[in-house]
Structure 1
Amino acid sequence: MNNGFVYAFLIFGCGLFNCSDSELVENWKNPEIDAFQAQKVLVLSISNDKKNSSDFEKRLVTDLRTKGVNAFNSDDFFKNHNKNKAFTEEELEDLEALLLSQGYDAVLVSKVIGAEDKITLVQSYRNLNKTFDNFGSDYYSNQDLDNIEDQIENYVVYHAQSVLYCICPENKRQVIWRASIDVTKLDSDKKAIKEYIKMLLWTLEEQDLLISSSKF
């Protein structure tokens, strides 16, 4: 096995093991809706990490407003409520009535639904490539990996989901769109949030939801 083969394997492996920082796993749009631009949208992040949740909402609101969307984070709206609690149907009815009274017609909810530890491609390659006829061929084929040892590290993949609801009197909590996105956290929560929002905004614009693709 020469260096060219190892290089080719690494290129192929990026597709196999997903070397990008974010990946769109699911992208579902209500077939009854072609396009949707909200008059006023509430951005809601559900997480047990209050700081990251707040940072996420603020950044997403800023980016949505840059693209012409009348968006607001949930801090003020939920100041008298615990947004992470399990609401009863009656409480949800009251919240929707309050949203409507304040001019909201959509809610964009985002949440982390799971996380798992991963290892980098180099370590995966080393673990997979175990079968050789003798020590010499094994050592020769893998000796160059010692030069890229610094690429071997643990990282976390977050499985997150965003759902866009229409808050309409005739269609209570109608789901307009839903997407699942995997985000790789390599060095910071800030970067993971940035990558998630980038993918989220791109997908919304592609679907002509909230962000009008004809304007940008």
Structure 2
Amino acid sequence: MKKILLFIILIIISSCKSTKLVDSYKNPENVVFTAYKVLLVGMTPNQETRVAFESLLKEEFDKRKIESMRSIDLFDVNFTASAKTEEELRAVERQLLDKDFDAVLFAKVLGSESKQTVRKKISDWGNYTGKFRDDYLQHQDIYNSTGYYDQFKVYHTETTLYCICEGKEQSMVWRGSIDLTDPKNIDKSIDEYVQLVVNAMQEQDVIFRKK
């Protein structure tokens, strides 16, 4: 009886987690993907949240002795203050290649959507052939939307790993969909978010390796 009660309690606790992985997709062309220098980008209008996310993620890379850099350390303050053109982002990709980056891990909050809409988007991931610059161009308004988070109870997020290797046509390596339900403790939610991303990538042999 005690074991049954404990099991029920564990189910209730796990169901109450404010952060959960909805689904993930790995490009089948990359059975095992290895990156040696990764740019970490958190797209959010809240500077403190961006710093916390990129910093925690960098700690996970540092633990595994994989070189990474926060976007806040690479881009100057004015970079996200104004919209960028496709040509400007092409130049950014060229600079990243020149600095020996071979991947970008890009996270953004998209908003609150119905489960049917989310499933439809996830089912289309396998047909997505865009690059990092395409994703950035489409969502860069997030940086300057001051009331962006006020309208959401469920924060539907996407975290995408892009290969920026020379000559790669299919540049999306991995994408994870994570929902944050009306988080009260932002620091705790960011920590859970980062752990989910790391564990999901590790499970699929994307940069991080299974132990």
Settle same-fold status: TM greater than 0.5. yes
Larger radius of gyration: 1
Aligned to 1:113: 110
What displacement does 1:69 show?
1.9
Q: How many matched pairs? A: 167
Closer, same or farther: CA 65–84 of 1 in aligned 2, 3 Å: farther
Where does residue 38 of structure 1 map in the other structure? 35
Percent of residue pairs identical: 34
Q: Which runs of 5+ in 1 are unaligned?
A: 1-6, 117-154
Cα 1:63–1:75 change in 2 (3 A) is same
Matched letter for residue 23 of structure 2: E
In structure 1, C-alpha distance between the alignment counterparts of 2:161 and 2:25, rounded to whole Å:
11
Residue 62 of structure 1, CA deviation: 0.8
C-alpha distance 47-173 of structure 1, shift in aligned 2 (>3 A): farther
Other structure's SS at 1:38 match: coil
Mapped partners of 1:81, 1:69: distance in 2: 28
Are positions 1:64 and 2:61 aligned together? yes
**TM-aligned CA deviation for residue 67 of structure 1:** 2.1
Map of 1:93 onto structure 2:
90
Matching residue of 2:123: none
Cα distance in 2 between the residues matched to 1:199 and 1:71 = 18
Q: Which amino acid aligns with 1:105?
A: D
* Local SS of the residue matching 1:94: helix
Q: Could you say if the C-alpha distance between residues 44 and 186 of structure 1 is closer, same or farther in structure 2, counting changes exceeding 3 Å? A: closer
**Residues 1-216 of structure 1: matches in 2 within 5 Å?**
14=12, 18-79=15-76, 81-83=78-80, 85-115=82-112, 156-171=153-168, 174-213=171-210, 216=211
Partner of 2:132: none
- Aligned-residue offset at 1:185: 4.7
- State the shift of 1:80 in Å: 6.1
Q: What SS class does the counterpart of residue 35 from structure 2 fall into?
A: coil
2-structure distance, mates of 1:49, 1:31: 34
Mapped to 1, the partners of 2:88 and 2:208 lie a distance apart of: 30
Q: Runs of 4+ in structure 1 displaced over 6 angstroms?
A: none
2:169 & 2:99 partners in 1: Cα distance? 16
Taking only aligned residues, the RMSD between alpha carbons, in angstroms, comes to: 2.7
Whole-angstrom CA distance in 2 between matches of 1:24 and 1:90? 34
Q: Distance in 2 between matches of 1:191 and 1:172?
A: 37
TM-score, normalised by the number of residues in structure 2: 0.70
> How far apart, CA to CA, are the structure 2 residues paired with 1:196 and 1:84?
26
- Counterpart code for 1:59: L
Give the letter aligned to residue 93 of structure 1: R
